[in-house]
Structure 1
Amino acid sequence: MKLPTPQGLSSSTFRPPPLDGSLTFPEICDLHAKNSPNHPLFRYTDADGNLQTIEWARAVRGFHKAAQITLQRVAPKSSDVRPVIGIVAVIDQITYFSLICGILRAGYQAFPVSPRNSDVAVAHLLQSTNCSHVFVSKDGGMQKLAGAAATKLATMGKELTILPIPTFADLFAPSEPVHSLPPMPKLSLDAPAVILHSSGSTAFPKTIIHTFRIMMESGLIPYYGQMDLCGHTLSAHAVPMFHLMGVIQLSWTAFTGLTMAVFPPTSPPTVPTPDRVFDAAVSTNSSLFFSVPAFLESWARDPHRIPILQKFRTVIFAGGPLQPAVGDTLVRQGIHIAHVYGLTETSNICMFLPDAPPEEGWDYFYMSPHTDPVFEPVEDIPGVFHLIVKKTPRHTPAVLDTNIDGVPALRTNDLFVKHPTNPNLVKVYGRHDDQIMHSNGEKTNPGPLEAILLKDTRIKYAVMFGRSQFHAGVLLFPTEPFDPADDKRVIEFRREIWPTIVEANRYAPQHSRIFKEMILIADPSRPVELTAKGTLRRQTVLDLYKEEIHAVYEAVAQSSQIHLDAPQEFDSQSSLEFVRRVVAEVMLDLPGDDDDLFQQGCDSLQATWIRNSLLHALRCSQRVDMKIVPSNFVYTYPTLRLLADLLTRLTSGAASTSQDITRRTEAMRAMVRKYSEGFSERQASEKATKDEIVLVTGTTGALGSHILAQLLCLPKVSKVYAVNRRSTSDDLRKRHESSFSANGLDLNLLASPKLVLLEAELNQPKFGLSSEEYNSLKHSVTTIIHNGWQVNFNISLSSMEPLVAGTRNLVDFALSCTHTVPPRFVFVSTAGIFRNLDTKVALEERLSDPRVAVGLGYTESKWVAEQILENASQSTVFEPVIIRPGQLSGAENGAWNSSDWFPALLRASQLLGHLPTISGYASWFPMHHAAKAVIEMRTSHEKYLHITHPKPVAMTKIMSPLSGVLGLPLIPYLAWLELLEAAALNESSASNNPGVRLLDFFRTFQPNASDEDDALSPVALSNTHATIAASSMLSVAPLTARDVELWVSYLRQGGYLS
C-alpha cells in the first residue's frame, strides 16, 4: 500500500505493522512484543524526578495480564458472544490504556464510560450495550456512581456486576507471573472493538461503536500527514482515556511508533492542571504537545512559558475552539500550533500532522486526503457549509445516516467556512444543532437542558451559553419580565426557579451544570428575534447579550456565594454546618464530612466557588487577618470537617490551637510507644568480617544516588545493597540510570560487581523479600544507611506510619544480623524537626520534646523515628548515628530538584518580574559533599550530627548574582511576598506559579534577619561534632556566584526556568 508519509522506516527499534488489515489491533500489539520489544510506548517522570520508560515488550505483558484478569472475572455466555466490559474509573493513563488493550486481547469489547456522566446516563449506556460487567475504580465517587447506576438497572430487571479495577501494580509488578495467552481467535476487521459515546449533555448519550477497521484507519491517519511520528514523544498528559482523544492514542502508537508521555501511574491519579501538564511535558522531553484549548490559553498568558513552547515541534489542540486572540499571539511568537478536528463518529479527519500552520491562518486546516468531505451550503447563512463525510475505501465513519450520490455518509451537524482565496482550507464555524463546545474539550447540548427549564411556567425562554469557556451558563427570559438591575428581584427569581435548575443539573454531566451565579436575566427593554416556529434565534440572542455574558465569566474568578449567611460564632458545629451549606451549593451530591472532595468529583471551578465563599465569610467575621489564611486551602484541607476545623481555628485567633498541638504530640508519643516495644534480643553467631557490606535505602533520589556512587568507589566496601521501594517500574536499574544521569554521576558505576539492586517493602515482614534473600542480608550486612523517606509536606503523620514501621523493622534486622558486632546504623533525619525550637542554636543532641517538631507530618515522622532509634540504643547494643541535614543545595553539575522551594522561588520570581532581597546568611551544603559527609559519619560514635556549611555566606552573595543571571531586579522581600500573595488571588496566575503552592512556607522567612541569623530559620544548627566526624566538611569552599550559575543553567536546561 503506497501512502504519502511512511512511518518509522528509519527507526532501529520500531518495525511498522502490516497496513493491509491482515491483523487486528490486539494481534498488532502481540507482534510489537516480538518485532519492536525495546521501542518505547510510555514515558513518565517518577516521584524522584527520574524519567521512566515502558517499552512495547513490557507493555504487552501488562496487556496480557489485564486480559487474564478479564477472562478470570467474566466468562462468555457462549463461544460466539463477545461480552461488553465497561470501565467507569478515575485511574492513571497507563493502567487505563492497558485495561482497554487487555479487554480487547481477551476477545471482548471495551466500553470506557466518562466518569462525568450522571448515574441515569451511565445506566442507559450500559443497558443499551447489554453490558453486565463493569470495572470500577476504588474511589468513593466512582463507586457511588456505579452503584447508583446498578440500582437503576436493577429496576429494569438488569443485573450489573461491579468488578474491582486492576491497579498498575497488578498489571506490571515484576513479581507477578504473566502466562502467555494463546493466539487470538480470528476476528473480522468489522467486529466491534471499542465502544465510545457522545457528549452526554442529555440524559441519554448515544453509543458509538469503533470496529477494528476504524482502529486501523485511525492508526493510518498520520501516514496521510506530513510528519513521521516515530521517534517523537507526544505529551498526552491532558488527554482523558475515556474520550476519543485518549482512545486514538492506541492506534497512533501501534501504527506509527509514537511514544506517549503520561503522568506517573499513581493512585489516586494526578489531576491534570495547566501547571502540572506543562511541567510534565517538559520533564518527559516531549517534542509534541497535545492539549485542550483551556490549558493552551492559560500558558499563552504566561510570557515565561512562551520560550519553552517554542521548543516543541508542534503544539496540538483539540476538543474545542481556541480563542482567536490566543492563537494569533502564539503564532506571532513562532509557536507551531496545529488544530486537530474530528468527531467520535469519524475519528480525526483533518491532516495530521502538517509541517507548519497554513500561511493563510492558523485556525484553518486541510481535510485529510483519506477522507471524502462534502460541504453543503447552509440556506440561510451565506458562505457557511454543512459538513457531510462520505465513506471511502480508506475511511469508515462509525455512524452512517445519509447517502450522497449513492454513497453512505454521515451528516455531522458541524458548520464550516472556507478560506476566501484557498477553498481547500476550512475552519469550524459552529454546530448546526447548537451544541456548545467548551474550552476544556467538553460539550454541552443545550436543547434537552433548556427543555427541562422551560417546563417551569415562570421561564418563557432559556438560552444556554459557554462556547470557548470552561463551563456553561444560561440566559433566562422570565414569563413576567422585570428589570435585571433589580438585584433583590433577581435573587428572589433565582431562588424560585432553583428546584428546576437542580432538576436540569441532575440530568446534565458535570461540565454542563448551572451555578446560580451563571444565571443571567434578560432585559425586557431589548427586543428579541423569533423564528417562524416562535423560538428564539439563538445566535442573535447571544450576540445581543455578549457583553453581559463576558462580564459574568470575568466575575467567576472572584465569585462567592454571598447569599449564604455566615454563622455568628464559628464553633465546631456551626462551622461544619456552614461548610456543608457552601459545598451543597456547588456539588450535586453532598459528600460525607470526611470524604475527600476531589475524589467525590469536585473540580477546579467548584473549588474556586468554595474557596471564595469561605473567604467571604471570614472577611465578614472581621476576626481574621486574611494574610494568615493558607493559599489553596481547599486543596490542603479537602474534606468538610477539615475545612470547618480550619474556619474554627482561624476565627479563634490561632492557626494551630493548643488543643491541636496536644492532639498531634500525643499521636507522636503513641507512635513512639507502639514501635519501641519488644526489641529483639541480640544473638550473634559469627565472627566479624573485614569486608564492609553496606545496605543503603533510597538510592534513586538526589542524596541517595550520590551516597551510592561514592560507596561504590570506596575500596573497603565490597558490596552495596541498594534497597528501594517497589514502584511503578520493573527495571530498578533504569531508575538508577535516570537519577545518575540527572545528577551528573558516572553511569559505569551501575555496572559495578559490588552493586546489588533490591526492591523491598521495609514495613513488611522480611522486607517483602524471599527467606533466601533476607537471610543472605542477615549474614552479610555490616553497615546500614537509612536514607529513604517520603518527602511530602502535605500528608499527615498517620500517612507516614509505614515509613516508621519500616524503620523499626530495620532496627530488628540490625539486631538479628549474625556478625559479632551489629551493623552500624546511620539514619538520615532532618533539621526540620527544630521548626518550633525557641532557642537560637540547635545542639547535636536528643530532642525529647515533640512540640518542637509539630506542624508537618514529615517532621513529626522523623522525630518519631529518632525516638525509636534512641529507645533501641537504650535497651540493646544497637548504635545509631542520627544525621540531621540542613538545606542541601545543587550538586556538582548544578542539579537541584525543581520541586524544592528554591527553584520554585526562582520560577515564581520570573513570573512576578522581580527577585526578593533575602536577609541573613545561607549555610546551604552542596549535595555531593553532603553524601560524602554521610559516608564518613558512618563510623562516628556520636549519636547526633548536623550537616550544615561550616562557612556560610551572606544571602546577598547568592541573590545578587541571581539578579544578574536571571535579569530580574531585586526588591524588598515583603514587597516580593505581596506580589506573590496577589498572584495567589488570581486563579489563572496562581495555577501557573509554583511559588503560590509554597506561599505559606515563604511567609515563614525572616525579612529582617540580621547578618548573624540563618535566612531560612531563626535557629542555627550546631555542627561541632559533625565537622570532627566528617572532616571533609571543613574543606568545602563557600558558595559563590559560580554555584549560582550552575543551578540556573541546570534548571534552564530542563526547561523549568526560561
Structure 2
Amino acid sequence: MQTQFPTPQGLLSSTFEQPPLDGSLLLPEIFDHHAQRSPNHPLFHYVDADGVVGTIVWLQAVQGFHNAAHIIRRYVNVESPERRPVVGVVASSDQITYFSVIAGILRAGYQAFPVSPRNSDVGISHLLQSTDCTHVFVSPDSATQKLVAAAAAKLSGLGKEINILPIPTFEDLFASDSPEFMPPMRKIGLDAPAVILHSSGSTAFPKTITFTYRILMESGLIPYYGRIDLCGHVLSAHAVPMFHLMGVIQLPWTTFCGLTISVLPPTSPPIVPTPDRVFDGAIATKSSLLFCVPAFLESWAREPHRLAALKSFRTVIFGGGPLQPAVGDMLVQHGVHIAHVYGLTETSNLTWFLPESAPKEGWDYFYLSPHTDPVFVPLEDIPGVYHLVIKKSPIHTPAMLDTVVDGVPGLNTNDLFVQHPTNPNLWKVYGRHDDQIMHSTGEKTNPGPLGKFHAGVLVFPAEPIDPADAQQVIEFRRQIWSTVEEANQLAPTHSRLFKEMILVADPSRPIELTAKGTPRRQAVLNIYQDEIRDMYGAVEESSQTHLTAPEEYDFPATLQFMRHVVSEVMLEMPGDDDDIFQHGCDSLQATWIRNSIFHAFRKSQRVDMKTIPSNFVYSYPTLRLLADLFTQLASGSGSKPENVSLRADAMQAMAHKYTQGFPAHRASAEKPEDEVLLVTGTTGALGSHLIAHLLDLPEVSMVYALNRPSSKSTKSIQERQRSSFVANGIDVHLLESPKLKLFEANLSLPRLGLSNEDHGSLRATVTSIVHNAWQVNFNISLSTLEPLVAGTRHLVDFALSSPHPLPPRFIFISTAGIFRNSTGTVAPEEHVAGPKIAVGLGYTESKWVAEEILETAAQRTALSPVVIRPGQLSGAANGAWNASDWFPALLKSSQLLGHLPALSGRASWFPIHHAARVVAHLRTSSDHYLHITHPQPIPTSDITSALSHALGLPLVPYAEWLESLEAASLQESAAASNPGVRLLDFFRAYREVGPKQDMFSPAGLANERATRAAGWMLDVAPLAASDVDAWVSHLRQVRYLD
C-alpha cells in the first residue's frame, strides 16, 4: 500500500501513468515502465536550427537509454555480473545526450559518475582514484581531452590506468530505427549506490557524494510534498549543467512526476547557454517553469521586454547563489513569481517545492519542504543565527551522515540561516559556518552570501593588467566599481567594500578552479598572502586616501569634490539637495565620508580642522550644505552661524505639510467596554517598563506593541522584547500574558506597515495610543527624522478612523528638550507656539513638529491628545541605563580621558521605571501637556562626586574636560572608540548654570499638573549615591565601562 502524499503527480494526465512509489521498481526500471505505460508522454522539448519545436517522448527516450546502455556495456565489460563499476563522464555535451548517457549507465546496472570539466587535472585524478573509476567517457573537444589525459597521466604514475572513451553522440543514441532493448535488470537493493556526485572543492579537493537508489527515489518524491503537480508542466532547464545536482535531479523528477524539460537542441559541439538563448528557448517551447542562476535573472531584469515576459511563467526558480536584492524587489513589484530553491548535493532540494509565489513576508525567504526533518541550532557567538542540521527520516535520507541529533543520525549542513522575525516557518540563508571571516574588529563576515566578494577582495581581470602599475590598478578599480556596489548591497555594514580593499590578481600566477568555475579559495589565499597582508597594512583608517581637496575653494569646485566623496561611498548617489540619510547612508558610511573629507582638507592645510563640528555630516546632510560649509571654512570666514530663522521656517513648513486634510471621525460602533492600548517603541527601556506596568492593570484587556523592524539584528520581535525585559530587570513571564501581542510595523507606511487584517483588527479595538517610538540621536537633522514625523501623522489618521464614538486617546512622549532655547526660568506645562525655542537639534525640532501636529489635530478634529514631556530619565531599578545615551557616553569618555567633568546646576532626573508608571497613570489625564521631572532635585555635584568615587577618576573643571575631548576628536579613529566625540556638539552646548537651574536646560520644568494627577510622584526618593553605584555597576556588567 503506497503512502498518501499531499500533492499526487500525474493522476489527471492522459499520457502519463504514475509509477510505483514504494521502491518496488528502481529508477532505471521505471524508465522501462514509461516506455510501456507512458510511451507518448513528452520528456524533452527543444527548438531546432529552423526554429521548429522538437519533442522526444518517453518511448523514444527509453530507446536511446537502452542504446546507451549497450554502448557502455561494450566498452565497460565486467567479468562478474555482481560487479557494478563506476563509469565516469567528463564532457561538454548537449543535455539530451548527457541525460541519456547517465540513464544508460544506470540501465546497464553500473554506477554513473558525472564529473565537472571545470575541475583541474589534479582534482579529477583525485576523484577518479577515490571512486576506483577506471572508465571515463569524454567529449571530443580538445580542452576536455587534454584535461582528462593529464589527470590519467598523473594516475598512471601511481600504477592506475584510466580508459578514456568517446562519449556517444545524439545520433548514436537516437538514429536507430530498431533499437535493441536490454534484458531485465538483475535485482539491486534500494540502498545500493547509483550516482556519484561531487562537491565544488572551493576550499580543498572536491569530495564525492553518493546517491543510492533510495535517495534517487526520495528526490523524485519531493514534488509529492510540494505545491504543484509537475505533470503537464514544462521546465526550462536550458541553463542547467548535467554534472550538477540540478542536472541529475531531472532524472527522478521527470520519471516519478511526469515533468517535461525544455533544453537546448542536441548539437555537437553543444550550444553555450547564454541568457538570451535560455530565455528565447524557454519562450519558444512554451515553458511554464523556468530555472536559472541569479546572474541570468539579473540580466533579464534589465531588459523591459524580457521583464514583462517573465510574468508569463508560472514560477521562475533560481538557486546556486544570491539574487541581488534590488533585482528581487523589482521582479516581485512587476508581478514575476520567483521562488528560491535551496539544497545541498548531500540532501537534494530542501525547500517547499514551487509555491505559487514568493512569501509575502519577503521573496528571499523560503519554507523548508515537509519531507525534511530539520533542526536549527542557534550559534553561540552570533545571536539570531542558526546552523542547519538535517536528520535522517523514513522519507528523507541525506547522502552523508556526520552528526547525531536526539539520537538520530543527520547531516550538519554548515549553512547558516536567519529566521523571519514574524513568521517562524520562513528562513533565509545567512552564509556558511565554515567560511566565516573574523575581522580584527571582532566582527564576522560570511562570504557565502556575498558570492566572490569579501571585506577585502581579490579580482581576476578578464583582460590582464599589471598589478604593479598603480595607474592601471586605479583605472581598473574604477571600471568594476558598479559591480562592487552590487556586492555591497548584499553585505552587512561592517563587510562593505571600498576601492582601497580591491586587490588585482597577477596574470603571471595561474590559479586552480573548482567545478563551479570559481577559484579554490585557500589555494589562492596562499598564493597572494603577501599582497593581502600589504594591502591591509597600506589602507589607512576609515578614509579614502586617494581623494584630494579641490584646487580652488570656490563653491562649484567644492560641490564637485563632495559629489566625488559621496559617490565613492554610497550605493545610491543622492542629488545635491537630498538628505543622504534618507537615501541609505548609515553610520559607517557617514564615518567614511567624514574621515575622507577630514583627510583631504587636513592635507591641504587650508582649513583649521578644530573649527569643523565633529558631527558635520549629520548637521549638513546634503551635498550642497557640505560644500557651502567647507567653502566658508576654506575662505577663512569660519563656520557660518546657524540661521535660527531658516531652521524655524523648516520646522513650520514640515508642521504645515503634515497638518493638511485630517480625515473626519465617523462613529459606527458602540463605546467599547474593554480598554485596549496600542503602544509604539516598546523594545527600549521606557517602552518595556510601560507595557510591563500596563499588563499588570486589571482594567487593560489587551496591549498591542508596535516596533519597527531592526536593521541591526536578525532577532525576532519576541526575542528583542525579551532581551529588553532581561536588560531592564523586568519579569519576562509577563511576555507570556495573553493580553500582549507584538507586531513589527513601519509607521511611515500606509496601514502602519501592517497587513490589512491586522490593521483592521487594531482599528476596531484600540481605545488608547501611546506613541513612544522615536530615534534618539542628537547628531541627525530634522529632514532625516521626517519619516518619524510622517509616522505620527499616520497614527493620528489611524486614531480618527476608529469606529468608536470617540477616537482613541493619543498620548505622545515628547521631550523637555524642546525648551533648549528658553529664556524663562520655568517652562510651563502648556503648548509651545513658536518653533525657535526648539531649534538646534534635529531631535528636538522633530518633537516640536510632532507636538504641533497633535495641537492642530486637537483644534480641527475630535482627537484629544496628551503630550508628556519627560526630563532626563535615569537608570532603572537594577541600574540599567541605555549605553547609547549621553550620560553613559560621558562616563566612557571620561575613562578614556582620565578625568571626570565637574557639573554645575541641579539634577531633576527621574528613574525610568517610575516614569513608565507615570505615563500609564496619565493616559486618562484631562490635561493636554504634562512634564515628568523629579519633584525633589539634588545638586548635580552630588552625582559627580559619587561618580568620581565609583570610577576612581579625579574631577576637573568642565571647560578642561571639554578641551580634552576636542583634542581627542582630532584623531581619525576617535569616533569609533570614544563615544563622547560623536556627541561633541551636544557637550559644547553645555554651559555653567546656577544652582537652581537644570543642567543642559536654562529653564526648569514645571510639573505641578503631573504631580497633581499622579500624587505618588512626590513620594519617590531623591537620587542618592546608591543609585550612582547601581548605574556604574550595570554599565560595567554589560562591559561598557572598565
How would you bin the TM-score normalised by the shorter chain? Answer: 0.5 to 0.7
Tell me the distance in 2 between the aligned counterparts of 1:722 and 1:867: 25
User: Matched residues in 1 for 2:612 and 2:420: separation?
Assistant: 31
Contact kept, 8 Å, 2:935 with 2:1017, in 1: the verdict is yes
Q: Is the 8 A contact 2:237 2:292 kept in 1?
A: no
Deviations 1:544-573 (A, max 9, x none): xxxxx999969989997897565355x4x3
Q: Does 1:612 align with 2:598?
A: yes
Q: CA–CA distance in 2 between the matches of 1:442 and 1:989?
A: 27
Q: Which residue of 2 aligns with 1:1031?
A: 1015
Residues 1:1049 and 2:1020 aligned together: no
- What letter is aligned with 1:1011? P
For residue 78 of structure 1, report the CA deviation from its aligned partner.
2.5
Determine the C-alpha separation between the residues in 2 that align with 1:1017 and 1:620: 36
Which residue does the alignment assign to 2:694? Answer: 711
Corresponding residue for residue 880 of structure 1: 865
CA distance in 2, matches of 1:1053, 1:603: 30
8 Å CA contact 2:553–2:631 kept in 1: the answer is: no
Partner letter of residue 1015 of structure 1?
M
With over 3 angstroms needed to count, the CA separation of the structure-2 counterparts of 1:964 and 1:637, relative to structure 1, is same
Distance 1:513 1:233, change over 3 A: same
Cross-structure match for 1:962: 947
Q: Give the counterpart of 2:676 among 693, 701, 712.
A: 693
SS in 2 for 1:945: strand
Quick check: 1:744–1:893 contact (8 Å CA) kept in 2? yes
Instruction: For residues 780-809 of structure 1, give each alpha carbon's deviation from its aligned partner in whole angstroms, at most 9, with x where no partner exists.
Output: 443332222333445444444443333334
- For 2:969, the aligned partner's letter is A
Distance 1:1040 1:288 in 2: 51
Counterpart in the other structure of 2:236: 77
Name which of 846, 852, 857 aligns with 1:867: 852
Q: Does 1:723 align with 2:869?
A: no
In the alignment, the residues of structure 1 paired with residue 792 and residue 725 of structure 2 have an alpha-carbon distance, to the nearest angstrom, of 26
- Tell me, in whole angstroms, the C-alpha distance in 2 between the residues paired with 1:578 and 1:643: 10
User: Does residue 295 of the first structure (1) align with residue 441 of the second (2)?
Assistant: yes
Q: CA RMSD in A?
A: 6.5
Shift of 1:710: 0.9
Q: Which residue of 2 aligns with 1:234?
A: 381
2:831 alignment counterpart: 846
Q: Which amino acid aligns with 1:644?
A: A
Say whether 1:646 aligns with 2:629: yes
8 Å CA contact retained: 2:939, 2:995: yes
What amino acid is the match of 2:926? H
Change (3 A) 1:170 1:893: farther
| Superposed CA offset, 1:579-635 (max 9, x none) | 4577799999998646859979997997476323554388525xx6x4441226457
- Counterpart in 1 of 2:125? none
What whole-Å deviation, never above 9, does each CA across 1:123-170 have from its counterpart, x for those lacking one? x999999999775999xxx99x999xx9xxxxxxxxxx9976279999
Evaluate the alpha carbon distance shift between residue 163 and residue 717 of structure 1 in structure 2; reply closer, same or farther with a 3 A threshold. closer
CA–CA distance in structure 2, aligned partners of residues 611 and 633 of structure 1: 10
Specify whether residues 870 and 589 from structure 1 end up closer, same or farther in structure 2 by C-alpha distance, changes over 3 A only: closer
Alpha-carbon distance between aligned partners in 2 of 1:600 and 1:682, rounded to the nearest angstrom: 39
> Deviation of residue 945 (structure 1)?
1.0
Match of 1:973 among 948, 958, 967: 958
In structure 2, what is the equivalent of residue 205 of structure 1? none
Following superposition, the deviation at residue 295 of structure 1 comes to 2.8
Find the aligned partners of 2:572 and 2:756 in 1 and give their Cα distance. 50
How is 1:570-585 mapped onto 2 (pairs within 5 angstroms)? 571=555, 573-579=556-562
Q: Distance in 2 between matches of 1:188 and 1:290?
A: 21
* 1:914 partnered with 2:899: yes
1:187: Cα distance to partner?
Answer: 8.1
Alignment counterpart, residue 808 of structure 1, candidates 781, 790, 793: 793
Mapped partners of 2:600, 2:728: distance in 1 = 44
Which residues of structure 2 form unaligned runs of 5+? 1-190, 200-222, 245-258, 260-272, 280-289, 307-317, 351-375, 387-401, 423-432, 485-496, 502-528
Does the aligned pair in 2 maintain the 1:829–1:882 contact within 8 Å? yes
CA offset digits 1:659-690 (Å, max 9, x no partner): 6x445433432332333234344444666556
Matched, 1:1020 2:1004: yes
Structure 1 stretch displaced more, 707-716 or 774-783: 774-783
Q: Which whole-Å CA distance do the structure 1 matches of 2:683 and 2:198 have between them?
A: 36
Partners of 2:550 and 2:558 within 8 A in 1 = no
Rounded Cα–Cα distance in structure 1 between residues aligned with 2:1018 and 2:378: 48
1:931-965 deviation line (CA, Å, top 9, x unaligned): 11112222222211111122222222222222222
Paired AA for residue 1055 in structure 1: R
In structure 2, the CA distance between the partners of 1:603 and 1:25, relative to structure 1 (3 Å rule), is farther
TM-score normalised by the chain length of structure 1: 0.52
- Aligned partner letter, 1:1052: R
Q: Assess if the C-alpha contact under 8 Å between 1:561 and 1:609 holds in 2.
A: no
Distance 1:1044 1:1005 in 2: 21
Distance in structure 1 (CA, Å) of the matches to 2:1001 and 2:872: 11
Larger-gyration structure (1/2): 2
Distance in 1 of aligned mates of 2:746 and 2:793: 13
What secondary structure does 2:999 align onto?
coil
* Residue pair 2:704, 2:740 contacting (<8 A) in 1 also: yes
Q: Distance in 2 between matches of 1:918 and 1:767?
A: 43
- Is the contact made by 2:543 and 2:593 (CA closer than 8 Å) also made in structure 1? no
Corresponding residue SS for 2:236: coil
Q: What is the alpha-carbon distance in structure 2 between the residues aligned to residue 586 and residue 759 of structure 1? A: 30
User: Counterpart in 2 of 1:829?
Assistant: 814
Q: Indicate conservation of the 8 Å contact 2:889/2:980, yes or no.
A: yes
List aligned pairs for 1:781-820, cutoff 5 A. Answer: 781-820=766-805
What amino acid does structure 2 have at the position aligned with 1:888? L
Match of 2:924 in 1: 939
Is the Cα–Cα contact under 8 Å of residues 696 and 787 in structure 1 kept in the other structure?
yes
- TM-score, length-normalised on structure 2? 0.52
- How big is the shift at 1:737? 2.2
TM-superposed deviation, 1:233: 1.7
Over 3 Å counting, the alpha-carbon distance change for 1:657 and 1:1003 in structure 2 is closer
CA distance in 2, matches of 1:715, 1:868: 32
User: How do 1:103-182 and structure 2 match up within 5 A?
Assistant: 165=325
Percent identical across equivalent pairs?
45
Q: Which runs of 5+ in 1 are unaligned?
A: 1-17, 27-63, 86-106, 108-123, 151-160, 194-228, 240-250, 267-286, 300-315, 320-341, 348-436, 454-461, 464-473, 475-497, 516-541, 544-548
CA distance in 2, matches of 1:794, 1:317: 28
Q: Distance in 2 between matches of 1:1055 and 1:21?
A: 56
Deviation at 1:726, TM superposition (A): 5.5
Change (3 A) 1:167 1:655: farther
Equivalent-residue separation in structure 2 for 1:841 and 1:164 (angstroms): 56
Distance 2:462 2:572 in 1: 24
* Pair 683,991 (structure 1): closer, same or farther in 2 beyond 3 Å: closer
- For residue 725 of structure 1, report the CA deviation from its aligned partner: 3.8
Q: Distance in 1 between matches of 2:960 and 2:234?
A: 66
Farther-moved stretch of structure 1 (784-793 vs 721-730): 721-730
- Change in CA separation of 1:503 and 1:734 when aligned onto 2, cut-off 3 Å: closer
Q: Aligned letter for 1:859?
A: T
Alpha-carbon distance between aligned partners in 1 of 2:670 and 2:570, rounded to the nearest angstrom = 67
Aligned-pair distance for 1:1012? 2.5
- Greater Cα offset, 904-913 or 787-796: 787-796
Moved more, 594-603 or 940-949: 594-603
Q: Which one has more relative contact order, counting CA pairs under 8 Å at least 6 apart?
A: 1
| Pairs aligned (count) | 683
**Does 2:594 correspond to 1:629?**
no
Q: What's 1:91 paired with?
A: none
Instruction: Give distance in 1, aligned partners of 2:785 and 2:243.
Output: 41
